[in-house]
């Protein structure tokens, strides 16, 4: 679960990490009064979960509350890379001397948290990492003994942080690690981390990703979760707890298990087709869950044909077949549907379809032939 | 031989009195696995169709000599259950549970690697040594005894490839689902090294997917340390970058995590990579002939 | 630093461990009004840091506030094994079904925290441990992975805690471990831990020892520290930060380093004398610290002779000699003083004493001869 | 040979620019120890009488090849300093600092014992191999080169006994102050095993005191594993039970912690125990003759 900048900053503030004072606004008028309360120059920042909002015009400096209102009016409703701006964050403008970069992520390869720090922040840090790897100090942390003051000192020394800012950065790195642990975060990132004219070190941005698996022990964070999805099917899937990602093709795909679904996508592409989506109905799919998943898929008008590829382990093929019939009945769908059922109760499943399914449903014996058929049908439609 | 699970396996099932726990404990027993005990706190003294239930894993191990534990408890209790299994002294823990917080797994992993016990999973379908025993939830009818080892991050894809092998008359020594989470107890390399040492395994199929760099590391390991041939499959060529794909494990982390990158890394080390499950089975047949 | 029961209970309550509601009182009148506020039957408990207060009459049940006042009047000022009662704790009486025992301590041998639980609490647990070791479940905890729910379950199962109380005890053990860590405690002990008629599990007593070395990170706990020392010299020493323990002999002893001071005590005893105290002036003793230490010793009228045994490492013997002269000058002490100086700057130290010290100060060359001389002088005094 | 500290020691001093740090770094160097670096955060590039100062221990180790670290920082920074020293990869860490919280030491100890590095202390006077080098704060004039090893929980008592040995013309191979805290990095047994393996040590003096059960465990170890003779001394026969005696380590924990109990445990295993420092030296002389 990705948080918005303003949510991340609120969490940072709770963990003692200095952030500029600010307020959320959802209307130009609210932006104006927020600017009045904050006082002085403010920055109006679009709240979207996508990079590059600065270049897209989503971040503006305002000298007066009136100007803040004006900027908010321009930014609210703006489309930034497919994301509509519904909220702006108004915060006190900072007098920046220097921009740094700091982050903590999971390094899956090392199986340890990785802390990264650079004196070259405020820019594309991936570019820095590629072209000037020395400029990005990296340190892995033992999860059992944790991040310690000497780690912070080593990072600051090796990232060549300016002497006057070192103490502040050392403190923030320790607080950031505490936040990373306390929040069950997969990522905490500050870019830029700024050194101000008054000598403070302040988080000017905040990118926080929370581990969905850990939300059960963070009721306050779970409340922050809100749909940021513009796509109708993705929103439906999210609400129903189904893993769904929209793609730009026309062969709708439903499978059980992420690996098998990915493989199905690949096989459809090999057969010359273009997958319309990724939809994993999950491990233990019961008939109800299959209905839910199909409702998401069938509501997408771009889908020309549908490929249902199931290998039953925990999942039972007869349940899938029943779910399919129920969904077709409910949605009154007429597009061509290719079904491949294998594994637990495969015979029963095939039998249900053969006997009860309408003519637009065809059964194929293998994954490969099913993919070829679905691609053909999409092209013919 | 086979690896991890065989005729010597004595299994204790944690969460045995739950619906799924009971179902799979009995299925594993029906397949021939020696299921010696179950654990559900507060239910010591009961039994599940003859399998005695204990309050704690330690009591179960002391009472029955169990050497393998299967974790079948809900995610918010699974971290505790894994630690409990490890402390009880069993050699192998297989964790089926999906949804364990990643920070918990980081700590478990670090702790685990300081000892000499083995954890398979979490979020995995388990292990089957066809004809010898199974610990987990795999549909046993897909597998046949044979001399091909299989290790996979994906459950259903494991079944798919095993089915393709079966169509060509090829069976397996052992099939291991290592799980799709970002942090799992055993990596490809851990399992490959066991297959390399197993004299009943003539070839290994490694089934990877996008995300992480375990396949790249395995490629290096294979070229340096393995005489047993390896055939591979990678899923996710069409997966959109940066999107989460069911498994948290399927997040692409940098270019090293792409399917294409993994395929090239493997091929650069001489590992044949099939483009679809059917072709993987054919490559295996050709390599064995 | 040992805490009083009421302080321990306040800390337990902060960590979610159920304790009976209660109040502190320092006068009988305050005890009465506390009992009125609490309502119902109350228990009046002497607050002393010594065991056996129940047998000594320091714990009384009161049916009414008037009775609570009466009991408080009897208990306040009472002497329990040399400890005067200055405070009582008034708490709601509990309806006890069963008494258990729970504790967490440092096991120095294993170098791990040791959690102990017994269904046979409310009695002398050492006796239980000796006569019926099976009744005391013991579990060591890995300090890096911590105490987990399954540990609590194992303890509860193996200590044979009654089924109805198991859930409550499992919860309390986990909270107790969290408190042990958070408080930097060397010991947390609940005896008895009770199972009540209403089915709750409640800490009826609280014994907490905090690591003095960790007080710097617990300003709230440091405030709880108060002198519980009746002895004048011990109080002086505590205020001055000198390690001092009163004993019942007449040869005063000052040394540097705990090992050397203990050895000096032993050698004095071997020479037929009886040490009056243990006083460790510490590792880096400067002249001022020696003066402070001597002031504590010389104010004790039981001391008949004084043995100063110094082996200079960091400590410099000339500093010790200077401190001695200053202290003698200030205190105008005339009792016989035997000095043994060895190690860093020993010659300078001996010279200062030879040239400047009054006649009651004698120098000996070895620890053994110094001890013999000090014992003789104490007997002759 | 000698143990722990010798001519190969390359020392980095953490906290070298503090008053005590500078004083003892220079004293150690004056005794012949190869003091190659110091560490004080923010002072990289400076030097202390020719000893280069670094920001971090890792930088110091990379820059100078230091293999031993001495921690000389205030207690509230010492836990961090010990971890930093361990992570830098040095073989030996000697922590002089007194007053480290016991819970911190529990965690450090558990972490330490999973690797193969050595920690002496905290709250210890350090190590001296007379004539070869010293790391710590011991008054060097008390020690002479010889073939007796000495290990002690107490600093000043170490000096006292060494002085008594010197009066009889007996010198030491190495003298180790392991520290008086409840949890220290190296136990008596850890050091005894090193002396047992040292061919320049003919006899070992073990100086214990009340509290804990390390002396009792050492008695067992000596009887099982040591051919080198051991003479012992225990302080605290007159110490009042249950009172804290300067070292937190001197709290009596049960009857096993008494001086009398320790003496009896040692004598039961054939270890001679002197009643005072002078007698200990005499026992050593007799055992060597």
Is residue B289 over pLDDT 60?
yes
Is residue C285 over pLDDT 80?
no
Report the number of secondary-structure helices (H) and strands (E) in chain A: 13, 18
User: A256 in contact with B at a CB cutoff of 8 Å?
Assistant: yes
Task: Indicate the SS3 state at residue D212.
Answer: coil
Match 């000596």 to its residue by tokens: D222
d(CA C46, CA C6): 10
Contact D149, D158 (CB under 8 A): no
User: A111 in contact with B at a CB cutoff of 8 Å?
Assistant: yes
**Residue from B113, B115, B149, B120 nearest B137 by CA:** B120
C46 bridge partner residues: C88
Instruction: Name D2's Cβ contacts closer than 8 Å, sequence gap at least 6.
Output: D129, D132, D173, D174, D198, D200
Confidence band for C297, pLDDT divided at 50, 70 and 90:
confident
d(CA A138, CA A114): 7
Confidence band for B167, pLDDT divided at 50, 70 and 90:
very high
Confidence band for C380, pLDDT divided at 50, 70 and 90:
confident
Is residue D47 over pLDDT 60?
yes
Is A153's CB within 8 Å of D55's CB? yes
Contact A114, A105 (CB under 8 A): yes
State the average pLDDT over residues A110-123. 90
Task: Indicate the SS3 state at residue C376.
Answer: helix
State the average pLDDT over residues A304-326. 91
Instruction: Choose from C147, C258, C270, C279 for mutation: most chain D CBs within 10 A.
Output: C258
pLDDT value at position D242? 53
pLDDT: which is higher, B93 or C294: B93
> What distance in Å separates residue C261's CA from the closest CA in chain D?
9
**Residue from C106, C136, C102 nearest C12 by CA:** C102
When the candidates are 3.10.310.70, 3.40.50.720, 1.10.340.70, 3.30.420.40, the CATH number that belongs to B1-123 is 3.40.50.720
Confidence band for C112, pLDDT divided at 50, 70 and 90:
very high
User: A144 in contact with C at a CB cutoff of 8 Å?
Assistant: yes
> What distance in Å separates residue A112's CA from the closest CA in chain D?
15
Q: Which residues of C are catalytic?
A: 101, 189
The answer for C189, left when phi > 0, alpha when psi is -120 to 50, beta otherwise, is beta
pLDDT: which is higher, A75 or D180: A75
d(CA A168, CA B18): 52
Is residue B259 over pLDDT 70?
yes
Is A263's CB within 8 Å of B157's CB? yes
Match 């003066």 to its residue by tokens: C291
Residue B80: which of C142, C144, C148 has the nearest Cβ? Answer: C148
Is residue C190 over pLDDT 60?
yes
CA C117 to chain centre: 23
Name chain A contacts of B151, Cβ cutoff 8 Å.
none
Is residue B98 over pLDDT 80?
yes
d(CA A253, CA A263): 11
For A13-64, how does the pLDDT look when each residue is reduced to its tens digit (9 = 90+)? 999 999 999 999 999 999 999 999 999 999 999 998 877 788 889 999 999 9
Is C267's CB within 8 Å of D276's CB? yes
Which chain B residue lies closest to A50 (C-alpha atoms)? B242
> What distance in Å separates residue A144's CA from the closest CA in chain D?
9
d(CA D237, CA D218): 19
CA atoms within 13 A on the CB side of C10: 10
Read off the tokens for C316.
């410099």
pLDDT value at position D90? 98
d(CA C75, CA C67): 12
d(CA C148, CA D116): 28
Confidence band for B256, pLDDT divided at 50, 70 and 90:
low
Name chain A contacts of D111, Cβ cutoff 8 Å.
142, 144-145
Name chain A contacts of D42, Cβ cutoff 8 Å.
163, 166
Name chain B contacts of A243, Cβ cutoff 8 Å.
244-246
Q: Cα dihedral sign for A71, A74, A80, A83? A: positive
State the average pLDDT over residues C336-362. 93
- Per mean pLDDT, which of A118-122, B54-58, B179-183 is the most reliable? B54-58
CA B116 to chain centre: 17
pLDDT value at position A380? 83
**Residue from D151, D154, D188 nearest C259 by CA:** D154
Name chain A contacts of C144, Cβ cutoff 8 Å.
144-145
User: What single-letter DSSP state applies at residue C275?
Assistant: B
The answer for D221, left when phi > 0, alpha when psi is -120 to 50, beta otherwise, is alpha
Q: Among the listed ranges A303-317, B187-201, D82-96, which one has the minimum average pLDDT value?
A: A303-317
Read off the tokens for B221.
């390991």
Which chain B residue lies closest to A275 (C-alpha atoms)? B238
Is B41's CB within 8 Å of C153's CB? yes
Name chain C contacts of B107, Cβ cutoff 8 Å.
145
Name chain A contacts of B101, Cβ cutoff 8 Å.
184, 211, 213-214, 217
Is residue D7 over pLDDT 90?
yes
Is D59's CB within 8 Å of A157's CB? yes
For B121-142, how does the pLDDT look when each residue is reduced to its tens digit (9 = 90+)? 999 999 999 999 999 999 999 9
Which chain C residue lies closest to B105 (C-alpha atoms)? C145
Residue B107: which of C145, C153, C154 has the nearest Cβ? Answer: C145
Write the DSSP assignment of chain B as a string of letters.
--SS-STT-EEEEETTTSHHHHHHHHHHHHHT-EEEEEE-TT-TT-EETTEEEESSHHHHHHHH---EEEE-S-HHHHHHHHHHHHHTT-SEEEE------HHHHHHHHHHHTTSS-EEE-SS--EEEETTTEEEE---GGG--EEEEEEEES-HHHHHHHHHHHHHTT--EEEEEE--SSSS-SS-HHHHHHHHHH-TT-SEEEEEEESSSSHHHHHHHHHHHH--S-EEEEEE-TTSPTT--BSBGGG---SGGGSHHHHHHHHHHTT-EEESSHHHHHHHHHHHH-
Name chain A contacts of D41, Cβ cutoff 8 Å.
153, 157
User: C153 in contact with B at a CB cutoff of 8 Å?
Assistant: yes
Backbone angles phi, psi at A94, to 5 degrees: -110, 145
Confidence band for C225, pLDDT divided at 50, 70 and 90:
confident
Q: Which residues of D are catalytic?
A: 247
Q: Which of residues 128-147 of D touch C (CB under 8 A)?
A: 137-139, 141-142
Is residue B1 over pLDDT 90?
no
C327-359 as b/e: b if 16+ CB within 10 A: bbeeeebebbbbbbbbbbbbeebbebbeeebee
Global pTM reads 0.90
For D216-246, how does the pLDDT look when each residue is reduced to its tens digit (9 = 90+)? 999 999 999 999 999 999 999 988 765 443 2
**Residue from C246, C242, C243 nearest C231 by CA:** C246
User: A313 in contact with B at a CB cutoff of 8 Å?
Assistant: yes
**Residue from C354, C304, C302 nearest C325 by CA:** C354
Is A163's CB within 8 Å of D42's CB? yes
Is A245's CB within 8 Å of B157's CB? no
Is residue B250 over pLDDT 60?
no
**Residue from C55, C62, C45, C56 nearest C79 by CA:** C56
Name chain C contacts of D221, Cβ cutoff 8 Å.
none
d(CA B200, CA A256): 32
User: A109 in contact with B at a CB cutoff of 8 Å?
Assistant: yes
Is residue B153 over pLDDT 80?
yes
Distances from the Cα of C114 to the Cα of A292, C106, D104, D141, angstroms? 52, 6, 16, 43
pLDDT: which is higher, A314 or A254: A254
For domain B139-289, say whether CATH 3.10.20.30 is its number.
Answer: no
Domain spans of chain B, in order of start: 1-123, 139-289
For D264-280, how does the pLDDT look when each residue is reduced to its tens digit (9 = 90+)? 999 999 999 999 999 99
Q: Cα dihedral sign for C353, C359, C360, C366? A: positive
> What distance in Å separates residue B155's CA from the closest CA in chain A?
7
Residue C150: which of B84, B107, B111 has the nearest Cβ? Answer: B84
Read off the tokens for C146.
């911590």
User: A145 in contact with C at a CB cutoff of 8 Å?
Assistant: yes
User: A243 in contact with B at a CB cutoff of 8 Å?
Assistant: yes
Q: Cα dihedral sign for A158, A163, A168, A171? A: positive
pLDDT value at position B243? 44
Confidence band for A235, pLDDT divided at 50, 70 and 90:
confident
**Strand pairing report for D10-14 and D272-274:** unpaired
For A316-372, how does the pLDDT look when each residue is reduced to its tens digit (9 = 90+)? 899 999 999 998 888 888 899 999 999 888 999 999 999 999 999 999 999 999 999
- Structural domains in chain A, CATH included, are 21-92 (3.30.1490.20), 96-221 (3.30.470.20), 231-380 (3.40.50.261)
Which chain A residue lies closest to C146 (C-alpha atoms)? A144
d(CA A46, CA A75): 6
> What distance in Å separates residue C129's CA from the closest CA in chain B?
22
Q: Among the listed ranges B107-116, C19-28, C274-283, which one has the minimum average pLDDT value?
A: C274-283
Confidence band for C283, pLDDT divided at 50, 70 and 90:
low
**Which chains does B contact via 3+ CB–CB distances below 8 A?**
A, C
Residue D58: which of A148, A154, A163 has the nearest Cβ? Answer: A154
Instruction: Choose from A144, A149, A150 for mutation: most chain D CBs within 10 A.
Output: A150
Is C257's CB within 8 Å of D155's CB? yes
d(CA A33, CA A23): 10
Read off the tokens for D162.
């060494």
pLDDT value at position A331? 83
Instruction: Choose from C259, C266, C278 for mutation: most chain D CBs within 10 A.
Output: C259
Is residue C284 over pLDDT 80?
no
Q: Which of residues 123-152 of A touch D (CB under 8 A)?
A: 142, 144-145, 148-150
For D94-132, how does the pLDDT look when each residue is reduced to its tens digit (9 = 90+)? 999 999 999 999 999 999 999 999 999 999 999 999 999
Q: Where are the alpha helices (DSSP H) in D172-276?
A: 188-197, 214-225, 259-268
Is residue B257 over pLDDT 60?
yes
Instruction: Choose from D45, D53, D56 for mutation: most chain A CBs within 10 A.
Output: D56
Q: Cα dihedral sign for A166, A172, A175, A177? A: negative
d(CA D105, CA D124): 14
Is C163's CB within 8 Å of B59's CB? no
Is C313's CB within 8 Å of D137's CB? yes
d(CA B193, CA B207): 15
- Mean pLDDT for all residues in chain D: 92
CA A156 to chain centre: 30
Is residue C13 over pLDDT 80?
yes
User: C245 in contact with D at a CB cutoff of 8 Å?
Assistant: yes
User: A154 in contact with D at a CB cutoff of 8 Å?
Assistant: yes
Is A166's CB within 8 Å of D44's CB? no
Q: Which residues of B are catalytic?
A: 247
Is C145's CB within 8 Å of A145's CB? no
State the average pLDDT over residues B83-105. 96
**Strand pairing report for B47-48 and B51-54:** antiparallel
d(CA B19, CA D164): 75
pLDDT value at position D100? 96
- Mean pLDDT for all residues in chain C: 91
């Amino acid at each position: 679960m990705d948080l918005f900048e303003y949510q991340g900053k609120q969490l940072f503030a709770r963990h003692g990490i200095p952030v500029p004072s600010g307020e959320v606004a959802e209307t130009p008028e609210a932006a104006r009064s927020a600017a009045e309360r904050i006082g002085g120059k403010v920055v109006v920042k679009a709240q979207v979960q996508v990079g590059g909002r600065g270049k897209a015009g989503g971040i503006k400096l305002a000298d007066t509350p009136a100007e803040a209102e004006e900027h908010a009016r321009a930014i609210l409703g703006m489309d930034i890379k497919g994301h509509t701006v519904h909220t702006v964050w108004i915060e006190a403008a900072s007098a920046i001397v220097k921009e740094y970069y700091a982050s903590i992520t999971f390094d899956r390869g090392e199986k340890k948290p990785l802390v990264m720090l650079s004196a070259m922040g405020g820019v594309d840090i991936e570019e820095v990492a590629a072209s000037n790897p020395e400029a990005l100090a990296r340190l892995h942390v033992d999860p059992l003994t944790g991040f310690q003051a000497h780690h912070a000192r080593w990072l600051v020394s090796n990232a060549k942080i300016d002497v006057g800012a070192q103490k502040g950065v050392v403190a923030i790195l320790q607080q950031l690690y505490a936040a990373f642990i306390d929040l069950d975060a997969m990522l905490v990132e500050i870019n830029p981390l700024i050194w101000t004219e008054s000598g403070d070190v302040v988080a000017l941005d905040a990118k926080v990703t929370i581990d969905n698996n850990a939300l059960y022990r963070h009721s306050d964070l779970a409340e922050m979760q809100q749909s940021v999805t513009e796509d109708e099917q993705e929103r439906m899937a999210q609400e129903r707890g189904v893993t769904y990602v929209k793609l730009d093709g026309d062969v709708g795909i439903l499978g059980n298990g992420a690996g098998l679904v990915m493989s199905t996508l690949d096989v459809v592409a090999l057969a010359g087709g273009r997958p319309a989506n990724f939809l994993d109905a999950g491990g233990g799919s019961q008939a109800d869950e299959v209905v839910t998943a199909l409702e998401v898929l069938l509501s997408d008008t771009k889908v020309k044909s549908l490929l249902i590829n199931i290998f039953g382990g925990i999942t039972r093929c007869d349940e899938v077949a029943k779910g399919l019939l129920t969904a077709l009945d409910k949605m009154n769908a007429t597009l061509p549907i290719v079904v491949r059922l294998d594994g637990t109760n495969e015979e029963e499943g095939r039998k249900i379809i053969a006997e009860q399914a309408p003519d637009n449903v065809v059964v194929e014996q293998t994954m490969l032939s099913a993919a070829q058929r679905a691609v053909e049908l999409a092209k013919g439609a | 031989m086979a690896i991890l699970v065989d005729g010597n396996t004595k299994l204790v099932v944690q969460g045995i009195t739950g619906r799924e726990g009971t179902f799979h404990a009995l299925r594993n027993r029906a397949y021939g696995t020696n299921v010696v005990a179950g654990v559900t706190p507060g239910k010591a003294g009961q039994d599940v169709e003859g399998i005695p239930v204990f309050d704690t894993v330690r009591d179960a191990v002391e009472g029955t000599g169990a050497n393998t534990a299967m974790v079948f408890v809900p995610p918010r209790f699974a971290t505790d259950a894994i630690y409990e299994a490890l402390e009880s002294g069993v050699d192998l823990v297989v964790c089926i549970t999906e949804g364990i917080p990643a920070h918990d797994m980081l700590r478990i992993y670090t702790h685990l690697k300081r000892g000499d016990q083995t954890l398979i999973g979490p979020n995995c379908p388990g292990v089957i040594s066809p004809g010898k025993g199974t610990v987990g939830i795999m549909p046993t009818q897909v597998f046949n005894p044979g001399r091909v080892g299989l290790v996979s991050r994906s459950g259903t894809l494991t079944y798919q490839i095993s089915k393709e092998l079966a169509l060509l008359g090829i069976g397996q020594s052992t099939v291991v689902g290592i799980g799709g989470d970002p942090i799992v107890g055993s990596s490809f390399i851990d399992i490959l090294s066991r297959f390399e040492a197993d004299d009943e395994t003539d070839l290994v199929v490694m089934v990877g997917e996008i995300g992480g760099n375990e396949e790249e590391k395995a490629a290096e390991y294979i070229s340096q340390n393995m005489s047993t041939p390896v055939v591979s499959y990678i899923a996710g060529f069409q997966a959109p970058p940066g999107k989460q794909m069911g498994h948290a494990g399927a997040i692409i982390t940098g270019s090293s995590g792409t399917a294409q990158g993994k395929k090239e890394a493997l091929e650069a080390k001489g590992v044949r990579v099939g483009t679809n499950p059917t072709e993987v089975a054919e490559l295996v047949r050709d390599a064995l002939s």
